[in-house]
Each structure stands twice: as structure tokens, then as C-alpha cells.
Amino acid sequence: MAKVLILGAGISGHTAALIARRKLGKNHVVEVISPNSNYQWVPSNIWVGMGLMTPDQVKFELAPVYKRAGIGYKQAMAISLHPDGDQTTDRAYVKIRYVVGELKDKEENVEYDYLINATGPKLNFAATEGLGPEKYSDSVCTYQHATHAWENLQKCFKKMEAGEKQKILIGTGHPLATCQGAAFEYSLNIAFEINKRKLNHMAELTWISNEYELGDFGMGGAYVKRGGYITPTKIFAESIFKEYNINWIVGAGVNKVEKGIVHYETLDGEFHSKEFDFAMLIPSFAGAGMKAYNKQDEDITSDLFVPNGMMKVDADYTPKAYEEWDAADWPSNYKSPLYDNVYAAGIAFAPPHPMSKPMKSKNGTQINPTPPRTGMPSGVIGRIVAENIVEKIKTGTKEHRHIASMSKMGAACIVSAGYGIRHGQAAVMTVYPIVPDWKKYPKWGRDIDYTVGEIGLAGHWMKLFMHYMFLYKAKALPLWWVIPE
Ligand SMILES: Cc1cc2nc3c(=O)[nH]c(=O)nc-3n(C[C@H](O)[C@H](O)[C@H](O)COP(=O)(O)OP(=O)(O)OC[C@H]3O[C@@H](n4cnc5c(N)ncnc54)[C@H](O)[C@@H]3O)c2cc1C
């Protein structure tokens, strides 16, 4: 009997758990440790933040699904990894701490044969003074944050309807934040709603971001085919913002938020402030902050994790100049270089370097997006990690037949830009590969036949369809496995 332990029940970990359970015989154990009792389809939190969906429409309880599927589940946080066991046991284990109920705060050691770290991002609001829903800005990163954001945004709409002008600021809240796509989507939805309510004259909507130019999206921008022409995403994004009446500030590293005012430094070394009535700013992301110890109980955290807490995998982490970055630096099987039975999937793995060119202000502050890992690659990585582990358990192989490098994988990103069956809109972008490969595609960095951008009503339908389809799959309802990630 082998035990596969999965830390995190998000897009990556939940996918891995369902696949491992389906492909492993019942005499093997699959168990998930996750602190939130719910699964949430994070991309639809944008609609929660607009009052267009309720939290219940984007989440469901994990326990009944895991019970039905035969997956063990503990509502707890992983605190530390002990991949060699300790002085009392040779078995690898993870120390967990329960977060609710009678067991709250109780610690326990959970043994494993194979471990998947899929703990996603720690939303690091603390890295920017005054940032986050507990301080002065909002977030849509969780359904709880999005609910709070909608409460505050409604107040703005009411004030505008009463004739009071409002300043709305959307973007990134740290010089190295990622996930620009989510903020971009939220800004378009707000603009759509302002327009629908005929409040354009009452609203000043501004985008603030650490991208050096619009449309970078943390992936170094892209050239996309649009209506038969090849367009840089800079132009694509600028034309959408113009159409939606959104101003923009780029190359901006937000360093402090106070009540109604955000402070930032720009790449030219200047320091500025911007007033706001509502601000939704994405924080920087870090790893979950787990420690690791060897058999002698010595701290080996820095052997397994990079300094921000994300886990080292089969990437090339040798520090290199931007000009030497190679698509081949990116990992493909997500195994820890130190342990053959430890993997990291989704946002939990440490990328070898950003995709956007590193930039420093004249004062030496680094201001550039760190690499995004969106839902599709997170799900695909969760799947291939589970498939490789299943094969290892079943056949004893050491090979990884299933690989998924972000430099060989495409992704589709649908950015809703207004809600409604007849009047909704969405910008659809597909990129192939996600990580640009200038050696293979010297002209455009990506395969221009598969790197496409369009905006229209059909995109909105696709986004809505994906919401229901992916929640169906996550609930492990009949034939869930035929739905791709
Ligand atoms: C508002 C928003 C909109 C987005 N929209 C899109 C979109 O339209 N398309 C797209 O492709 N991507 C989108 N993304 C990105 C996408 O949501 C992420 O790529 C994806 O959620 C990453 O999956 P993950 O499993 O790595 O992390 P997560 O989904 O964040 O899951 C991490 C899991 O780990 C758990 N966890 C945390 N700490 C611990 C611990 N110590 N021990 C155990 N468990 C732990 C968490 O509770 C959670 O269950 C969006 C993101 C945001 C924030």
C-alpha cells in the first residue's frame, strides 16, 4: 500500500487528488490536507467582486466530494516537511495543525510515500504597508475578499449615483506582484458597470501596475494575431483601455497604502501618490511558508525552498543574465531535486526566473511582474504530477513519462469585460507557449498561429461555460475526467 499526500485543495492540488484517486487501486491511499473547507473556482471571484455571483456559486464543500471519491481529508495547515523522518521514525511525514473544531490547534504528523505540495500562493499583503482588506485596499483573490470588495464598490456606485465623483484604482500593490490578468479583468468589469449605469462622468478609473508597459501581463507581453493582423499586447491592452475609458500608470511599484491614498515609485525613480475612493490591488505572492527538517531535526528549508517559500523543482535555477534566459530552464516534471517522492504543483513551484524583463528604478528598486501561473497550467501540472506518481507506484518506474513545461505548453486566458448573455464581452487570448521561446520562434517569441487575441460576446459565453464546466469537474460528477484542465 502506498500513500499519496497532497497539500492544498486548489486548482492544482484538487486536480492531482482526483486523478490520483481515479487511477490508483483502492488499496492505495490518497489524502488531502487543506485549511479551507471549501473548493473555490478562483477565476469567478471577479464576478463575486462585482456582485454578479454569490460566494455559493463559486465554491462548494470539499468533505462530501472527498468522502464520495474515497479521498482522505483533513482541514488543517501543513507546517513543516520531514522528508527523512526524524530520530524516532524513518518514515517521511508532514507536520500539520488543525484549524477548526475540537481539534483546532492540535498538531499531528501525517506520513506519506509521495508528497505533492500544491499550497498555491500566500497572499503577502504584509509586504506592502497598509495593503489589503484588513487595512486600506481591497482584493478579489478569495471569495471572502471579493465579497468585501463588492460591499465597498457598491458604496462608490451609490455615491456616484448621488452625484459625488469617485476615484477607482485597480492593479498591483507591490513592485514585484503578479496576476495582472485578474486585476485587468476586474478593471474592465468595473468600467462596463460604470458605463451600464451611465456614470462615466462621475468616475475616474485608473490602472496602476508594475508592468513597464501595458499588456505585459507578467509574461513579457506577446504578439497576438488579431483580425488577421499581428498586434503587440501593448496595443491590444491600450485599445481596450481607451475603449473602456480607463487611464493607466505603469512601471509603478506601490510601496505604501494609507486611507484613501496610495504611494508608489516609478521606474524613472520618482515618488508619487494617488488618491482613491476604492482600490483593488493584488498583493505579492510568496510560498506557504512551510519549514523543512532532516532526520537530525536540522533546518533544511533553504535546500527545498527558494527564499520566498516556493519549492525548488527540476528547473535550472542557476542565476543568469536576462539575455541568457532559456525556455529549457523551465521545469517539466516538478520533482524536488533532493527527494524522488516530493513534487510541487501549481503556484507552489519556484519558477527559474521571471518572464518579464527585470527592471530597476533609478533608486535601485526592482519593479517588474513575477511570473504568473494561471489556472490552466496549474491544473495540467497537478494532473501530470499525479499521473507520474501513479505510474511510479504501479510499475516501480523512476521515469516521468508525463511532462508539462510552461515553455512547451499553451494557455487560454479569457478576461471577462462585462457580464450578460446578450451584452457581455470578454477578451480571449491564447498563447503558445506560455514562456516565450526566442530560439525556437525568433520572430515573435511564440508560435504566431496559436497566439491569438480577440474581444467579443462569444468570449463571455466561453467564460461562463468554463465556470460551470470546471465546477462540474471539480465536484467529480459523472464523467468528470473527460473535461480537460
Ligand atoms: C481573482 C483571480 C482571478 C483569476 N482568474 C484566472 C482566469 O481567469 N484564468 C486562469 O487561468 N487563472 C486565473 N487566476 C489564477 C488561478 O486562480 C491560479 O493560477 C490557480 O488558482 C493556482 O492554483 P493552485 O492550486 O496553485 O493554488 P490555489 O488555487 O490558490 O490553491 C492553493 C490551495 O492550498 C491551500 N493551502 C495554502 N496553504 C496551505 C498549507 N500550509 N497547507 C495546506 N494547504 C494550504 C489553500 O487553502 C488552497 O486550497 C486568477 C486568480 C485570481 C486571484
**Over 90: is that where the pLDDT of 178 sits?**
yes
What domains appear along the chain, each with residue ranges and CATH number? Answer: 3-122+285-395 (3.50.50.100)
Dihedral, CA of residue 212, residue 235, residue 45 and residue 355, to nearest 10: -40
d(CA 14, CA 34): 10
pLDDT of residue 149: 98
> What predicted TM-score, i.e. pTM, was given to this entire model?
0.96
Contacts of 31 (CB under 8 A, 6+ apart): 3, 4, 5, 6, 71, 72, 73, 74, 110
How high is the pLDDT of residue 460?
A: 84
Q: Is the CB of 10 under 6 A from ligand 1?
A: yes
359 C-beta closer than 6 A to ligand 1? no
Distance (angstroms) between ligand 1 centre and the Cα of 42 equals 6
User: pLDDT: is 429 or 47 the higher one?
Assistant: 47
In this model, does residue 29 exceed pLDDT 90? yes
Provide the terminal-to-terminal Cα distance of the chain, rounded to the nearest Å. Answer: 29
405-439 pLDDT, tens digit each: 999 999 888 888 888 788 888 888 889 999 999 99
**CA nearest ligand 1 atom 35, residue:** 8
d(CA 241, CA 233) in angstroms, rounded, equals 12
pLDDT per residue over 153-164, tens digit each?
999 999 999 999
Whole-angstrom distance, CA of residue 211 vs CA of residue 32: 36
Q: How far is the CA of 59 from the centre of ligand 1 (A)?
A: 13
Is the predicted pLDDT of residue 457 greater than 90, yes or no?
no
Give the pLDDT confidence score for residue 461 in this predicted structure: 87
Task: Examine the pLDDT at 170 and tell me if it is beyond 90.
Answer: yes
Number of the ligand 1 atom closest to the C-alpha atom of 282: 53
Confidence of residue 479 (pLDDT cuts 50, 70, 90): very high
SS3 state at 299: strand
Residue 227's pLDDT is: 79
- Alpha carbon distance 75, 262 (integer Å): 37
Three-state SS across 147-202?
Answer: HHHHHHHHHHHHHHHCCCCEEEEEEECCCCCCCHHHHHHHHHHHHHHHHHCCCHHH
> Residue 301: left (phi > 0), alpha (psi -120 to 50), or beta?
alpha
Residues whose CB is less than 8 angstroms from the CB of residue 162 and which lie 6 or more positions away in sequence, other chains included = none
456 and 226 Cβ atoms separated by less than 8 Å: no
**In this predicted structure, what is the pLDDT of residue 375?**
92
Strands of the sheet containing 76-82, edge to edge, are 107-111, 93-98, 76-82, 291-292
Q: Provide the 3-class DSSP secondary structure of residue 482.
A: helix
The answer to whether the CB of 313 falls within 8 A of the CB of 289 is no
Question: What average pLDDT does the structure give for the chain?
Answer: 95
Distance 384 CA to ligand 1 centre (A): 18
From residue 45, alpha-carbon distances to 42, 412, 418 in Å are 5, 18, 14
pLDDT tens readout for residues 303-317:
999 999 999 999 999
What is the distance in A from the centroid of ligand 1 to the CA of 378?
8
Is 66 in a helix, a strand, or coil? Answer: helix
At 413, give phi and psi (nearest 5°). Answer: -125, 120
Distance set, CA 109 to CA 4, 29, 93, 194, 351 (Å):
14, 16, 6, 52, 29
Ligand 1, atom 31, lies closest to the CA of 10
Q: Is the CB of 375 under 6 A from ligand 1?
A: yes
Kindly tell me if the per-residue pLDDT of 454 is higher than 90: no
461-466: average pLDDT:
88
Q: What is the pLDDT of residues 267-302, one digit of tens each?
A: 999 999 999 999 999 999 999 999 999 999 999 999
Find out whether 211 and 356 touch, Cβ atoms under 8 Å.
yes
Q: Which one, of 132, 137, 353, 169, lies nearest residue 252 by Cα?
A: 169
CA atoms of 363 and 349, how far apart (whole Å): 30
Centroid of ligand 1 to alpha carbon of 62 (angstroms): 15
More confident call, 427 vs 321: 321
Residue 45 alpha carbon, nearest atom of ligand 1: 1
DSSP string, 235-274: HHHHHHHHHTT-EEE-SEEEEEEETTEEEEEETTS-EEEE
